[in-house]
Amino acid sequence: MNFKILGTGCAKCKTLEKLTHEVVRENSYDAEINKVEDIVQIMNYGILATPGLVLDEKVLISGRVPSKEEIKKLIEKHLNSQ
């Protein structure tokens, strides 16, 4: 799995990055997490507000910080759809 945290470095973006790392670690997911801070790259995902959470090039969340439980459910849904 390849996660991208979209955001320019605001507090919400940092929180989303932290929560994503925690969920990946706590559930032993084999995943890579990258931070995307370049505004042009962020705009290419079509989101109107940051932070954004992208999993395998699919935008899962934008404009808010989800709970750890919501992140886990989104990952599980993604894994089950493959």
Active site residues: 10, 13
**Is residue 17 within 8 Å of residue 45, measured between CB atoms?**
no
Degrees, nearest 5: CA angle 82-13-20: 40
Three-state SS string over 42-74 comes to: HHCCCCCCCCEEEECCEEEEECCCCCHHHHHHH
